[in-house]
Structure formats: structure tokens, C-alpha cells
Amino acid sequence: MTIRALNPKEKTQVKINDMIIGGKEPIIFAGPCSVESEEQIFLIAKELKRIGVHFLRGGVFKPRTSPYAFQGLGEEGLVYMSRAAKVFELPIVTEVMQEKDIELVSEHADILQIGSRNMYNYSLLKEVGRLKKPILLKRGMSATINEWVLAAEYIASMGNDQIILCERGIRTFDDYTRNTLDLAAVPIMQAETGLPVIVDPSHGTGIRQLIEPMSKAALACGADGLMIEVHPDPDHALSDGPQSIPLHDFEGLIRRVLNKA
């Protein structure tokens, strides 16, 4: 198979501009769960750039569990995010949910994200596999290691080996946290595939107080980066407020996590 045939000793690196995902230094992806307005994403992007975050993440097409929850701003949000990214010179990662939106999202995003709910959407995986852009593949919320590997195979089988894997927690019998962060998956997937693996402690826990310790644990087990949700006013966020770090607290958290305090 395509990915399993790779020599794990020759680890795949994804390069964007002067950044290397899968290199010696961890890469930080940060931003809001949902792009809510142009003002909001500009405020966040400006602060993230000042701090030294590498990538701006944000949701514009939102796959929510409830059809009555905020579904995202769609193309309007994508334009807002793209403008902010250009002003503050931050590359973008955002989710594409449907095949019909691939071209639109590709015009704005530097990395296309396949979310947890779409890990099993094999037709979507094959379509993004035809792109010449990196793909960030999140683990399905109930996916086994082997299923996750095979989902990545769908992308690679179409010619795109610029794949970043993201452990974002899985569903278990324990509901104290939103999900159970499976950090053992990080070194396993690195060894199985040779691909870079990052960790999303925001979705992995659902509790902002746990994000810092789990971020430290993720880097300790060899994660190639972190994806963390931030918001200027988490208590009034339109989605995932409880797991979002207040924007004014983010710099201190990152410095402590990276041991630069």
C-alpha cells in the first residue's frame, strides 16, 4: 500500500513557505472554532501573528451535531479569513466538507482539513487526493488506528502524499471529557505511516483547563504540532466556547507549553 510502503526512517515533511511540519520544531495551528465576523478574525489573526503562531485555523463550513446549531458563515467567512491571513501573512487551514466546495476552499486555504466526521467520506478523500495542496486528516471520532491509516491511503492513492494527521480524541465510555485523547496514537501513526502527526487538545478534551497539560503531554510523546482553539470571548462564542482559550491568555499558555516562559 502507498503509505505503509514508505520508510518510517525517512519521515515525510510538509513544507509551506519557510515552515516544516514534521521537522525539528513543533508547529502551532490556532484560531477560532468558527469565523464569526471579519472583525473577530482580524483581531485573532493580529494577535496570533504577534505571538508567533505558524498557521491560522478557523471554521467556515461547520459540521455540527445538531442541524439547529450555528453552521458557519460559508463562503463569506472564507473571504474574511483569507483577507486576515493576507494582511498578517499567516497561512490558512480550514475544513472542506463537500466535494463541490473543494475548488472554492482551495483558492483560499494553504491546507485543506478533512474533519473527524468526514474521515469515512471516501469519495471526498479521493477528490482531495487529486490536489497539489497539503491535506490535514483528522481521526474519526470512533476510528481505529487501522481505519485512520486506510483513510490516509485513500488520499495518497490518488497521488497526494502531502498529508498531515491529527489526533483529536475518540469516543469512549467515559463522558467526563468531550473525547478521550489517544496520545499513544501519535508515535504509532508516525511509525506506521512516516507522516507528521499533530494533536488537537481542544476537541480531545473539550475543557479549556485541560488544554495546557495535554498540549505538554502531546509534545512529550513526539507530536509534530498542536491545533488549539482560541476566542476573544469564549463564553459568548457561537461554537465550542468551553474548549477555547481566551485570546489574552494564549501567549502565556504557548510559552509554557513550548518551555519558553
pLDDT in tens, 184-241: 999 999 999 999 999 999 999 999 999 999 999 999 999 999 999 999 999 999 988 8
Q: Which CATH number do you get for residue 170?
A: 3.20.20.70
Based on the structure, what is the number of domains in the chain? 1
Whether the pLDDT of residue 35 is over 70: the answer is yes
Residue 240 is assigned to a structural domain of this protein: yes
Could you please report the per-residue DSSP string of 57-76? E-BSS---SSTTS----THH
Residue 2 is assigned to a structural domain of this protein: no
Residue 122 is assigned to a structural domain of this protein: yes
Residue 9 is assigned to a structural domain of this protein: no
Helix 247-257 to helix 38-51 angle (10° resolution) is 30
In this predicted structure, what is the pLDDT of residue 240? 85
Mean confidence (pLDDT) of the chain: 93
Residue 6 is assigned to a structural domain of this protein: no
Residue range(s) defining the domain that contains residue 176 = 14-63+70-257
The alpha carbon of residue 83 and the mean position of all alpha carbons in its chain are separated, in whole angstroms, by 20
Residue 5 is assigned to a structural domain of this protein: no
The average pLDDT across 118-142 equals: 98
The average pLDDT across 140-160 equals: 97
In this predicted structure, what is the pLDDT of residue 74? 86
> b or e along 187-211 (b: 16 or more beta carbons within 10 Å of the residue's beta carbon)?
ebbbebbbbbbbbbbbbbbbebebb
Nearest to 53 by CA among 99, 84, 96, 12: 84
Asked if residue 138 lies in contact with residue 111, where contact means CB atoms within 8 angstroms, the answer is no
Residue 92 is assigned to a structural domain of this protein: yes
Residue 244 exposed, middle or buried by CB count within 10 Å (0-12, 13-18, 19+): buried
